[in-house]
Structure 1
Amino acid sequence: MTIFILFISIIINVVSIFGIIILYMRQNRLIHVEQDQKKVLKDMEEMFSSYLIEMKDENEEFIKKVQSLNHRTSLNVSVNTDATEEEEVSNLDNHHGEERSFTAVMRNHAAKTYQSMMSKTDNTDVENPKIEFSTLPLEKQVFLLEKEGLTIEQIAQKLHKGKTEIELLLKFRQKM
């Protein structure tokens, strides 16, 4: 009988040692997983910060290109107002030695269309002064309210538009 109890005691000791080894391995694995997660998190933060810095640099470069393109197109528009868009593109290509992109042509076309639309709305106000305020285009409403001395927040509230939208309209008007 003592041999049987001794045998069971040895089996229980082996099982408990095996259990302790398994728990130790799981604990180590958990610690390694935690360290790996911290490393991955740190790598992701570094990657995002490098992407943000790269995007910032690209945005600044893009802004500089757009500003130089705006400057060139404004010079070209003032010199060559009667030229067609195709002639304007070829003149700029020959003059500056650069290839002008489709978006630049479309932007110039949009600016001319906007200017013609604004001049048309200015002329209709002179011809027909009894036009109702709510029938005017949004841009004209914003500019009239700004001339009255309202702030951007007040204009946005009165026209039920966003503050950012009103700011952009006013900034776009200033650029023209």
Structure 2
Amino acid sequence: MTAVVLRGSPGTPRWPDPRATWQRSSRSGPFAGAGCLAPRASARRSGPSPAPRAPVGTSRLRAESHGTANAYERKHMNKAELVSAIAKRADVPASTVDSVLAGLQEELVDAITRGEKVAVSGLITVERTQRSARTGRNPQTGESIDIPAANTVKVTAGSNLKKAASSVPV
């Protein structure tokens, strides 16, 4: 048996599925006869064709250039891009902005270590909170385990950030 692939124009009902592999049939029935072609059993499909797959190593959520995001893209800004954007907006050298951000980071770490709450009005609030001890469960074995108390960091968006997030369409 020789396998033949028939390709038709997509969307026209009289042409076979372009992904189907066909073989010469010697059985009886609608595909009887030496010159007739029948769909190969492994190539028969039922239902809608599968959705196209993304190439390996890519994701539907991509980090690309900044701008308007659609449903398939998610934008990320790293520290270098943030420093560049602030320097351009404030018309100061990028090294100055980088120094300010480094100082902000050091001060936030020191304040959290001391147990203080840092609030930048309208922008962000950062504070240390305590998580009490609790009993958890190992998901693989089902065994109960004791999880000790821990300190965590709570970050709350300020009113300006909340307003900016709510103004973007979903």
- Between structure 1 and structure 2, the one with the greater Rg is 1
TM-score w.r.t. structure 1 length? Answer: 0.23
TM-score, with structure 2 as normaliser:
0.24
> Which has more strand, going by share of residues?
2
